[in-house]
Each structure stands twice: as C-alpha cells, then as structure tokens.
Structure 1
Amino acid sequence: MSPIGDTAPAWVRAHACATPDAPAVDSPWGRLTYGQLEARMLALAGHLRDAGVGPGASVLIALPLGCAAAVAGLAVQALGACAVELDRETGAESLDSILAQTGARHAVLFGQDARRWTGRSALTHCFVVHGSRPPERLRALLAPAACTWLQEDGAVDPEVASEPLTALPALAPDAPASIVYTSGSTGAPRGVIQTSANIAANTRSIVEYLGLTARDRAMLILPLHYCYGKSVLQTHLLAGGSVFLDPRFMYPQVVLEAMATESCTGFAGVPLTFELLRRQAAPESLAKLPLRYLTQAGGGMSPDTVRWTREVFHPAELFVMYGQTEATARLSYLPPARATDKAGSIGQGIPGVTLAVVADDGTPLPDGEVGQLVARGANVTPGYLGAPEETAAILHDGWLWTGDLAWRDADGFFFLVGRAKEILKVGGHRVSPAEMEHVLARHPAVLEVAVVGVPDDLGAEAACAAVVRKPGTTPHEDDLRRFCREALPAYKVPRHVLFIEALPRGPTGKVLKADLRTRMLSILSSPDPRS
C-alpha cells in the first residue's frame, strides 16, 4: 500500500496548495478555483465517509454535466472508493443490474431524476443535487434511503455537520478507482474496471502528446460518464489547467459563443460534433475562436469532415485519436504534422502504449496485411466487473484485443479497417462498411450514411446503406450505387440503399448499428421497401 499521490484528488490538492485562486472547473452555473474545488471535494468526501463509504466501496453517480458531477467523482476517489458514473437516462432494468453487480449502497443523483430511483431498496444513502425542488418531496421519493442535499456547484447544504476529509488514504495502484459501463455482447450492462494506475498512466500520456499546461482551458461538452469526456477533465486537472463544462451543445452557437468568451484553448468532440458544426456554424465564427488544438475520437470521422475541420479551425491543430473504454480512453493519435501524408490513419500508439497487428492465433503479421489490432500498456483494464469469461475474451498474455481489424504501414502508422464483428462477408470477400460509408458520404446529396449487413437471398450477407438525404435533394438508389461504382469494385457496392429520416444514435453520438440493422430488415421485409 502507498499514498495515492498519483490520482486526480491528489492533483487537485497539489494545485490548490500552489495556485489556490487559479480557475479549475467552471460551468454556465458555477465557477470553482482550485482552492474551492479542493474544499468542495474534501467536504463531500467527509459526508460520504460518515455515511459509510470507505476504500473499495462503489458509489453510483448520475448527474448532468457540471461542477457537482466533477466534485462528486473526485470526492469518491479521494476516499479510495470506486466512482461508477452513469448516464442519467440509464433504464430501470440496467440500473438494477448495475446495483447488483457493484453492490453499491450510495448514490449521487439529480433531484429531477428522483422518480427513476424510487424503490431502489439497495441504496442506504442518496446525495441529491436538489436545485429548486422541495427536499421533502424528494425525500419521500427516495425513501427508505437517507438523503444529503447538494448544490449545483457541489457544495453540501449545511443541514448535517461533517468534518471534511483531511488526508487521502493509502491505496494500492491496482485498486479499482472507476467502473465505466458499456453494452455487453448480450446487451446487458458490462462494467469496465479502471484502476488508479490505469487512469494515471493514460492521463499523463495524453498530457504529454497534447502538450497541456496550466495555461490550457478546455471546452467540454461530453458527459463525464463517457471515458473520453472524463479524460478531458482529468488531463487538465493534472496539468493545472481548467475546464468549462457546458451541456448546451443542442444549441451549438451558444457553446461557440461561450468558447470565445471563456478563452478556451481546447475543444473535444466525437464525429457527430463536427458534423453538426459543419452544417450549422458559420466558418468565419469558427476561425475566430482562440483554440490551440482540437481532439476527435469516438469513432471514425469522414475524410471530408476531417479536411473541413482542419481548414476552418486553422491555425488550431486537430488531433485525430483512437481508443476504447477498456484502455481508459486512449490508445493512439495522429500527430497533426502527419495529417496530410497519413490521412485516414489512427496514427501511432500514445506514449507508453504498444500497438500490433496479429493473426487470429496471435502471430504478428507483416506490414500491409490486415489482422487483429492488439494493444499493451499500463492503461489497459484488468477486466470486466464480475465477468471472467468476457475478460478472458479480450485479454491475452498482457495484450488487449480491441476487436478492430487494422493494418500497419512501413512507417509504423496504423489504419483501421473496421470492427471485426461488423466486417461483412460479401461474395467471398471481406468488406469494410466504413469504406463504403466514406465513399457515399462524398455524394452531394448525402447528409449521413451508415452501412450494415443483412441476409441475402442465398443465405449469405449483403451490404445495406441507410442514407439520410440533404434537405432539398431527391437522390435515387441507382444514383448512389452508380456513384459507388466509380470508386469501388463491384463487390463493395451496397446491394441496398434505403433512405431514412435519421440514424439511430447513442448518448455519445455513435450510430447504433444493431438497432439500424433491425430497422433495415424491417424495411426490406415490407411490401414496398423503397417507399
């Protein structure tokens, strides 16, 4: 056991001692300096401790993006406990499963969501950001759990006195510090364990290649229950920089104005983020932002959108990145200086991470040959919570099997082909949906596109493209198939092109391909699938 000196709570304490008045975590509804953030963190940790939370315990956190969410995660980890940050929209069945898996008896939640938590008898104590809602009504909804009230900036209402935490406890580096839930292969929630050592390794690596300093200030629109969003907060807390948490991206112009007013130097987004900006934002307003860098992860972005982003945000540099929750966020990045000659690449392993391409039996493959992408580093998870079989499926001899297919060029840069489970087998050929999607996305009438596999008449597989048209256009299926034939061999041209109003997406903007495939099958089985 050793003092937890390399954790986010320890980083906050160090900066609070050195620069207590420096900005740390802000939002449209609150501002916290490092001194205030430390005070909020230690005060809430004291209340959690008195409610029975100790090292190794799990605490559920389901809060909107804001200061209180940042304080709650830090307070839980300051005790050596495990923060289980959840999407506020988590369904009742998944919530019950997560409570059973984690054994959590404490939760930090938003008063507006109290009805969602009603009847959860496993909970003994709830810490509630109540806002303007009457505490007594919330207390009745959350009974029999005891309640402690929090303000939107993470401060504890002075209803019950507790001594703040004064010292961070000893903690083994391999102790779970966070559990991040993703969808398992069966659809049941699957908890990815992230240890304090995982988080420290990944955070330090990202700070290194982004060159973050105390002068950096990030605009963060991604939720903290998403490991990409959490890594933005953690990296800036390590560097002594600051983060502006803004959940208002449904109004992009409002966020852009805040980015300018707040003098943000960094901005993180998923592909949908930049697609929305491309459609809705004036390029001249983007060029005036005081950004030093942008980061993009959370799935592949179309080449045209990558080029557009680099052009309109110039001179800010775009870091295209690749990662997984099982890698505590990040595995590779493409240096902006190589954006042109290595276009389409996910880059090289981040500092401390080794990437390789191997055959299905683990044998290393030569450059240029497609195989399984595997990774090794201190940021790789020890596994899934309570799921030894699923853990064994992704971890082999210290290597994380990402589930992605890729190839490496002679310079050591990696190129993704697609998810191994999503690769289509069309007429004896292995076909990447991403390749078809990138071609179709270049058509002037295509707003969005996603390709999935559907059964063909012979019991094999056919590619089906789901296309969202640009407003005012009326392309025909044959138009898009002809367009594909100009760039792709015949076997890579989608068998079906169906037009829909919108692609189904998850909370972080990723296309839900399983849902899309079900919808495509339903449309194709209808009497007139093109109607």
Structure 2
Amino acid sequence: MGAWRQRIGAWQALLASHADGSGHWLLFDPDPLEFSAALVAIWERGEQAILPADDQPATLAALRDSGQPLGTLAGGLRAGGDRDPVWSHRPLPTVAVTLYTSGSTGEPQRLDKRFAQLDAELTTQRALWPYAEDLVIGQVSHQHIYGLLFLILRPLAEGVPFATRPCPYPETLHAWLAACAGARLQAALVSAPPALSRLPATIDWPAVRHAQGRIYSSGAPLSRAASDLAQALLGSPVHEVYGSSETGGIAWRVQQQGETWRTFPGLAIESDAEQRLWLRSPHLADPQSWQRQADRVVLDPDGGFRLLGRADRIVKIGGKRLSLTAMDRALGELEGVRRAQTVTLNRRELRLGAIVELDPAHLPHDHASHRATVKRLRRDLARRFETPALPRYWRFVDAWPTNAQGKLSATLRERLFADLDDRRAPRWLGERTLAEGIEVTLEVPEHCRYVDGHFDAQPVVPGVTLVHWAMQLARRLFALEADFAGLERLRFPQPLLPGDRFRLTLARRRIKESESLMITCESARGQHASGRLTLTERHHVA
C-alpha cells in the first residue's frame, strides 16, 4: 500500500506539470498499479479519466482530441519518481470514467459512468461475493468495465491486494497459484471464456488447486463443457456475470446449479412481444427508467431468465466486444473486395468467419495465394481491430451466394463452412446453372481427410474422392436417387492438390434406357477430370 501511495504522488506531480486546462485525460496502461494510481490522481484533481478500449492506431486516431494521453499510449506521459501524495478538498468530477464500446451502427459509442453507478455495482457485488481471498489475480483488461470493477475498484474498496501483472496464459496462472500455495494464500480469479476454455489438463493443477478461490467470468456466456472443465481442474465453480458496458451487471449464474441467470438485487426485468429484455437498474444512468436490451430472453417464474441470443450484430469474440457491422464495413473497404459479411461460428469457442466476394484478379487459386490473401486482409484489418477479433475462417467467392429469394440464407452460410465439421467434405464456394448443367465452385481443404497418405511427398485428391464428391452434389442438385454403377471414359489428366480452387460441372444425361452423370473438373492449372458416371436405379429394401 505504501508503494501504491507513492505512485499516486508521482502521477499527481506529472498531472500538475502538464495540465492543459481541459481536465480530460486519456488513460491506458496495462500495469494495474500504474493505472490505478493514475486514476486516483486524476480523480483527486476533480478531473475526468477517459479509458480507450485498446491502443490500436485507429482507436487512438478517433480519440485524438478527447484528452491528453497518459500511460503506454503512443505519445502518452509517464509518471516519474515516487513521492508522497498530496490530498486536497476538490470535489469529485461529475463523470468518473468515460468508456468506449461498439454501438449497433459499428461506430464506437461513448459511455459516461458516474460515481453513483460505480458505487451501486460495487455495493451489489460485495453483498453477493465479498472478497474473502488474500489476492485478486486477473486474465482480463481493466480498460473495460468488468475488469475495472473486479480487478481495480473492488480490491481497493474492500482492502484486498491485487496482482500487479495479469496472467493471461494457463502457465502464468499456474505460476501465480503455485506462489500463493507456497505462501499459504488463496487467490480470486477474474477471468473470461477464452481463457477458461483453453485450460490444458496436462498442467499439474491438483498441486495448486487449494490456492484457488472463487472464479469469475464475464464477456460472453461460458459453455457448459468449459465450466465443468474449469471446476474439475481448478476445484472451484465459475461464477458467470452477465451484463454490458452500458448496463453494468444484470445477472449471474453457476452452471452446475442450472442454466438460468439470476438477476442482481435491486434490478427489475421484463420481456416484450419480441422476447427482448427490458431492464430497470441502479447501475443505469437513470435508475428509474426502463431500458430495452438487444438480448432475447425467456423469463422464468422464479424471476430469472434464459438467454436466447442477440437481436443485433454485436458479439464477443475472444472476449472482445465486436460490431460485425463495423467489421463488414472495414472488409468492404479493402483492396480487391467487392462485398463481405462476417458470421459467428460455434467452434470450441466463438470464432469469426468471413465471406468475401473478390475481384477476379484477387481470387486465390491455390494454397499459397490463399494464405497470402488471408495474410494481407488480416494485416489491413489489424490497423482497426485487435488480433483476437479478426476472422479465423475465410471463404472467397467470385459471386455472392444467394437463394431463390436473393438472400444469403442461413442454409448457404452453413454450406460455406460445412467442411469445418466434416473433414471429408470439399469447401463449397458457390454454384450457378449453365445451359449444359450446373457448375459448382469448390476448394480442396488443406486438412481434407481424403488426401492423407496420397502421397507423403505431395498429398493429392484421389480420383475416387472426386467421383464421391460429384455423386454427393448430384443428389442435392438434381434430387438424384440413382446409385453409382461405374465409370465410362473418365480421365484424370492431373491431380487436385490441397488448397486448389476448382470448378466441378455436373450434367444429368439419359442415353436410351440408362442414366448417367457427366462431370468436368477444371482449375486455373487446367483440367483435372472429365467423363461419365453410369447410374443404376436405387432399390429400396422394405
């Protein structure tokens, strides 16, 4: 505590020497000690702290005129040597902190939090879960409201030490718990779904489990599997907190006790005809007003609720709040991009996929050009978004896929990413009707199961796999019920390789009494197959 007070004095001296009269300070510092000391020094002057969500160039450019930068921001001022703090009787500022978060339009939304709002949250959380541990350690940023409350303000208000370094990785978390175990201390863990979902069972958690106190998680709902895994490895149930930067905390749950979210004391909730959640809360700027939320819910008789998903395009990716509208707009502005849409994919944790229509000159045709295109787009997006929020899976199309109503339907979106769940499937990228049949654009997934062992020096797609894919597509495209009977004049001039983009043209033919499927397969490297598959009537066994 003495060292922390000395850092407050150092920041006070810096602020006094660089005050420009605006009373607004742009504060970003990953060191919790420096951050909290600077925050108190700002408040002691009766001035306002503005907390950027990150230190990306585009973020800083948008906030350039908001205040004088402090901490590790580009051009930020850093406090010098320790000194005793000087306390005055200046009144506190009207606004305690200003935060920025994604709005529904994709533009950063400014959020002013008054001290009464922060105090209401701290009171609620302390009543539910007083810090009984000896130390608070974190895996999230204190630049956001969840980390600010649980990692900085709650420990200060409750007189509990907090760690001066975050522990984002499982190995660093284990090291912190090992240190606590050696000192016979117990630590509360402030975490989030990305970190809790990646806890490896290979680390010796039983040796440090007795040092783990209560676990908190927020930012997005935690999967039940991840919740069970965290409790099994760390020996403590996960207390999930549901809310947002705008609303503050709304509800909480421990999944082993049920999936229903329990509202915080003092909050009132309702649901409208669209199942949208309405909220009245002391954590809002106007505690007596009702505010409509983007989440859809089902209310339970006991006063809790179950989440059904959001009605807007704001998601949490890698623990970061992201506007898909903003990501779509940014992608659409990049070189060679005609149109783009991002979608969420429920993998082990929520990930982002991108469907991108490219100019013909920019379309990748093989593994190397695909990787280069992804690298270029990710590099350009990284100027505006943090790395964890960037798309993980990419689908490059030459024409926007639509159904009969002209929509990119949920069925088409699922088809574009179906190979992620089936390693035997080709990567579907669109189709169109021709005079002589239907042309389907496909890509050979780099990790396709069928290329394993064909061959070690250069994996290739076996000819029989191409026949199998053609039959699968024909069943859907032509409602084909016939079975494969044989091959006629089928040639394979050159093999398909992992990453190859190719066009498979299918045409249904009837010659006399026999039915056949004509196939042609071509890529930028030339022809890969042509010929005919003979078919036989399918016999159903009663």
Q: Normalised by the shorter chain, which TM-score bucket?
A: 0.5 to 0.7
Aligned match of 1:107: 69
User: What are the within-5 Å matches in structure 2 for residues 466-477 of structure 1?
Assistant: 475-476=423-424
Distance 2:443 2:134 in 1: 45
CA–CA distance in structure 2, aligned partners of residues 60 and 79 of structure 1: 15
Structure 2 residue aligned with 1:297: 218
Query: Structure 1: how far apart are the matches of 2:219 and 2:443?
Result: 25
| Matched residue, 1:379 | 283
Q: Report the Cα distance in structure 2 between the residues aligned to 1:462 and 1:270, rounded to whole angstroms.
A: 29
Equivalent in the alignment of 1:150:
80
Does residue 457 in structure 1 map to residue 403 in structure 2? yes
Matches within 5 A, 1:481-500: none
CA drift at 1:474: 6.9
Q: Distance in 1 between matches of 2:48 and 2:502?
A: 52
Alignment partner of 1:419 is 2:310: yes
| CA distance, structure 2, for counterparts of residue 320 and residue 109 of structure 1 | 31
Letter in 1 for 2:299: R
Match of 2:51 in 1: 85
Match of 1:19 in 2: none
Q: Is the 8 A contact 2:194 2:349 kept in 1?
A: no
What amino acid is aligned across from residue 290 of structure 2 in structure 1? W
Cα deviation per residue 1:1-27 (whole Å; 9 max; x = unaligned)?
Answer: xxxxxxxxxxxxxxxxxxxxxxxxxxx
Separation of aligned partners in 2, 1:410 and 1:498: 51
| Counterpart contact for 2:102–2:109, Cα < 8 Å | yes
| Among 337, 342, 345, the residue aligned to 2:258 | 342
Q: How far apart, CA to CA, are the structure 1 residues paired with 2:39 and 2:85? A: 16
CA gap of 1:80–1:356, structure 2 versus 1, over 3 A, is farther
> What CA deviation, in whole Å up to 9, does each residue of 1:487-528 have, x standing for no partner?
xxxxxxxxx999899xxxxxxxxxxxxxxxxxxxxxxxx767
In structure 2, relative to structure 1, the CA distance for the partners of 1:349 and 1:404 (3 Å cut) is same
Q: How many positions carry a matched residue from both structures?
A: 355
**1:127–1:308 CA distance, 2 compared to 1 (3 A):** same
Structure 1 residues 267-346: aligned runs within 5 Å: 267-278=189-200, 281-285=203-207, 288-314=209-235, 316-328=236-248, 330-334=249-253, 336=254, 339-343=255-259, 345=260
The residue type equivalent to 1:206 in the other structure is: Q
Q: 1:408 is matched with which residue: 299, 313, 337?
A: 299
From 30, 35, 39, the equivalent of 1:73 is 39
Q: 2:118 aligns with which of 184, 199, 220?
A: 199
Aligned counterpart for 2:95 among listed residues 176, 198, 218: 176
Measured in 2, the distance between the counterparts of 1:417 and 1:497 equals: 34
Question: Residue type of the partner of 2:11?
Answer: L
Q: What is the letter of the counterpart of residue 128 of structure 2?
A: Y
Match of 1:230 among 120, 126, 148: 148
Compute the displacement of 1:69 (Å): 1.6
Partner of 2:486: none
Tell me the CA shift for residue 301 of structure 1.
1.5
* Other-structure match for 1:61: 27
Deviation digits for residues 270-313 of structure 1, max 9, x if unmatched?
11011121466445356x24122101110011121112222222
In structure 2, list runs of 5 or more residues that go unmatched: 315-344, 356-400, 427-441, 448-500, 505-522, 524-542
Which residue number in structure 1 is paired with residue 394 of structure 2?
A: none
Q: Deviation string for 1:49-81 (max 9, x for gaps)?
A: 453377x82210122233212211222122222
Match of 2:272 in 1: 358
Asked if 1:36 is matched to 2:21, the reply is: no
- TM-superposed CA distance for 1:205, in Å, is 0.9
1:285-344 Cα distance to aligned partner (Å, 9 max, x none): 56x241221011100111211122222222x2321110100124x21112x4xx44522x
Using CA pairs under 8 Å that are at least 6 residues apart, name the structure with larger relative contact order, 1 or 2: 1
1:399 counterpart = 2:273: no
Shift of 1:257: 1.1
SS at match of 2:27: strand
SS in structure 1 opposite 2:199? helix
> What is the aligned counterpart of 1:256 among 171, 174, 189?
174
- Whether contact under 8 Å (2:102, 2:108) holds in the other structure is yes
1:292 partner SS: strand
5 Å-filtered alignment, 1:511-526, equals none
Q: Secondary structure at the match of 1:171?
A: coil
TM (norm. structure 1) is 0.58
CA–CA distance in structure 1, aligned partners of residues 443 and 303 of structure 2: 36
The aligned amino acid for 2:100 is: Y
* Partner-residue secondary structure (3-state), 1:211: coil
- Whole-angstrom CA distance in 2 between matches of 1:66 and 1:305: 27
Distance 1:171 1:418 in 2: 39
Secondary structure of 2:62's counterpart equals: helix
Gaps of 5+ in 1: 1-32, 118-125, 129-148, 157-162, 361-370, 383-394, 424-439, 479-495, 502-525
The answer to whether the 8 A contact 2:54-2:143 is kept is no
Q: Which amino acid aligns with 1:322?
A: Y
Take 1:64 and 1:182, find their aligned partners in 2: how far apart are those partners? 18
Answer whether contact 2:7 2:34 (CA < 8 A) is retained.
Answer: no
TM-score, scaled relative to structure 2: 0.57
Q: Which amino acid aligns with 1:107?
A: P
- Kept in 2, the 8 Å contact 1:216–1:264? The answer is yes
Relative distance call for 1:245 and 1:408 in structure 2 (3 A) is farther
Task: Report if aligned partners of 1:293, 1:319 keep a CA contact under 8 Å in 2.
Answer: yes
C-alpha spacing 1:266/1:450, structure 2 compared with 1 (3 Å) = same
Distance 1:241 1:349, change over 3 A: same
* Distance (Å, rounded) in 1 between the aligned partners of 2:311 and 2:272: 13
Call closer, same or farther: CA 1:264–1:467 in 2, change over 3 Å: farther
Q: Percent identity?
A: 18
Query: Comparing both structures, which one devotes a greater share of its residues to strand?
Result: 2
Which amino acid in 1 is paired with 2:131? L
